[in-house]
């Protein structure tokens, strides 16, 4: 979020400075006070842009999951559609989760490195979910004949 905000902090400071000079306030003692407003203004704009475009949210329950980037849902699915889970390192060495529909088959990546989830714990949690769903699929339900 800081990288999104800093250009706007700089832009706000420049704009405030231009306004102060145009109004003849650049020499007064209030100058620093007005300039310090650049930080909250810049951070607010940066935060709004970050939340709108780049913030990653992973929503899940025992049945399904969805990945939301900014205000758009980029992936969703049911746990029972997947057979295997692994931790995959991206090109920067950041650990993400990969869900496989079949071994070495179709897969979907969940960018957990962009959240505060611990990769090993989350992978183990997902693995337990997948094996539970699998065992539910395998074990036949007992139906009583009437």
Partner 1 sequence: MPEDPRPIDAFELGLIQGRARWIGDLTEFFRDYRIGDTTFALYAKGRTRNSGFLISRFFSWTVLPNYAIALFCVDEGEGSLGIETLRNRVDVVTRISKDEDLQWAWLILFSRKNIQPSIVSFVSRYDKRELGLAVASTTVKQIVLSNNQIGKSIEKHLRLSRALGEEKSGKTD
Q: Measure the CA–CA gap between 85 and 89, rounded to whole angstroms.
A: 13
Out of 23, 86, 102, 132, the only residue in the binding site for partner 1 (CB under 8 A) is 86
By CB under 8 A, tell whether 127 contacts partner 1.
yes
| Phi, psi dihedral angles at 103 (to 5 degrees) | -65, 125
3-state helix/strand/coil string of 119-136: HHHHHHHHHHHHHHHHHH
> Which residues ranging from 91 to 120 are in contact with partner 1 (CB under 8 A)?
91-93, 95, 98, 119-120
Antiparallel, parallel or unpaired: β 56-60 and 64-69: antiparallel
CB of 143 to partner 1, least distance (A): 31
By CB under 8 A, tell whether 89 contacts partner 1.
yes
Terminal alpha carbon distance of the chain: 63
The mark string for 56-85 relative to partner 1 (x by CB under 8 A, - otherwise) is ----------------------------xx
Q: Give residues in contact with partner 1 (CB under 8 A).
A: 84-89, 91-93, 95, 98, 119-120, 123-124, 127
């Amino acid at each position: 979020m800081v990288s999104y905000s800093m250009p706007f902090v700089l832009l706000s400071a420049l704009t405030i400075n231009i306004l102060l000079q145009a109004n003849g306030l650049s020499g007064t003692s209030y100058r620093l006070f007005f300039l310090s407003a650049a930080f909250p203004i810049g951070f607010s704009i940066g935060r709004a842009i970050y939340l709108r475009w780049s913030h990653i949210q992973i929503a899940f329950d025992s049945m399904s999951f969805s990945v939301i980037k900014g205000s758009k849902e980029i992936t969703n699915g049911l746990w029972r559609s997947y057979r295997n889970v692994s931790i995959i390192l991206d090109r920067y060495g950041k650990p993400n989760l990969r869900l496989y529909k079949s071994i070495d088959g179709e897969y979907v990546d969940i960018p957990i490195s962009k959240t505060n989830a611990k990769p090993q714990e989350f992978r183990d949690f997902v693995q337990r979910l997948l094996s539970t769903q699998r065992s539910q699929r395998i074990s036949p339900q007992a139906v009583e004949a009437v």
